[in-house]
């Protein structure tokens, strides 16, 4: 950091505020696009996923890799704290023994922007082999994840 930057916080403060505003505007646009998408086909698929979760005998098992995994952890936490039995399983842990926690009575909610995340493969295969309902949240309906899913929640670009 330069001496000028240390002594004159105004330029850095202005840049920080501008960056924060840009970030908030980008996030708001994304939420608006998602809200609009719920008025279309995504809305009926979303209602179908909610009904499947509501009628579950087991738990909602949420998974995802990277940023999708971070979002998935928040979803699992919110579901659990509002009364829906849910937990997050990391895809790499799933393929190393944690798949045993997933039962036929559960539902797997898998998040992947591309729908091609290789680390999800073992979990996807497991859901198909043991007939565990799979909800895919992805931007690509033609992806491997979406192709395996019972319900596809296609996210807007």
**Domain count for the chain:** 2
Looking at the structure, tell me whether residues 17 and 80 fall in a common domain: no
Looking at the structure, tell me whether residues 32 and 47 fall in a common domain: no
Looking at the structure, tell me whether residues 11 and 86 fall in a common domain: no
CB 110 within 8 A of CB 128: no
Looking at the structure, tell me whether residues 24 and 47 fall in a common domain: no
Looking at the structure, tell me whether residues 82 and 25 fall in a common domain: no
pLDDT bracket for residue 4 (50, 70, 90): low
Looking at the structure, tell me whether residues 103 and 58 fall in a common domain: yes
Looking at the structure, tell me whether residues 93 and 31 fall in a common domain: no
For residue 36, pLDDT over 60 is answered with yes
Quote the domain boundaries for residue 20: 3-37
For residue 8, pLDDT over 70 is answered with no
Q: What is the pLDDT of residues 69-128, one digit of tens each?
A: 999 999 999 999 999 999 999 999 988 888 999 999 999 999 999 999 999 999 999 999
Looking at the structure, tell me whether residues 46 and 118 fall in a common domain: yes
151 beta partners: 135
Q: What is the pLDDT of residues 43-72, one digit of tens each?
A: 999 999 999 999 999 999 999 999 999 999
Q: Tokens in use for 4?
A: 């000028």
pLDDT at 26: 96
Looking at the structure, tell me whether residues 74 and 103 fall in a common domain: yes
Q: Which region, left, alpha or beta, applies to residue 27 given φ > 0 means left and ψ of -120 to 50 means alpha?
A: alpha
CB 148 within 8 A of CB 121: no
For residue 1, pLDDT over 90 is answered with no
Looking at the structure, tell me whether residues 64 and 136 fall in a common domain: yes
pLDDT at 37: 94
pLDDT at 157: 84
Looking at the structure, tell me whether residues 68 and 25 fall in a common domain: no
For residue 10, pLDDT over 70 is answered with no
Q: How far is CA 130 from CA 88, 133, 134, 152, in A?
A: 19, 9, 11, 19
Looking at the structure, tell me whether residues 8 and 59 fall in a common domain: no
For residue 30, pLDDT over 80 is answered with yes
């Amino acid at each position: 950091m330069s001496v000028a930057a240390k002594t004159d916080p105004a330029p850095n403060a202005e840049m920080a505020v501008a960056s924060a505003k840009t970030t908030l505007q980008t996030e708001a646009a994304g939420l608006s696009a998602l809200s609009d998408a719920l008025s279309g086909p995504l809305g009926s698929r979303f209602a179908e996923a909610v009904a499947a979760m509501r009628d579950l005998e087991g738990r909602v098992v949420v998974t995802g890799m990277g940023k999708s995994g971070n979002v998935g952890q928040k979803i699992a936490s919110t579901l659990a704290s509002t009364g829906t039995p849910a937990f997050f399983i990391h895809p790499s842990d799933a393929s190393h023994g944690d798949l045993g926690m997933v039962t036929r009575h559960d539902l797997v909610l898998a998040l992947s922007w591309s729908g091609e995340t290789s680390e999800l493969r073992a979990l996807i295969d497991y859901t198909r082999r043991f007939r565990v309902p799979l909800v895919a949240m992805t931007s690509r309906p033609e992806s491997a994840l979406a192709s395996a899913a019972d319900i596809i929640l296609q996210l807007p670009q």
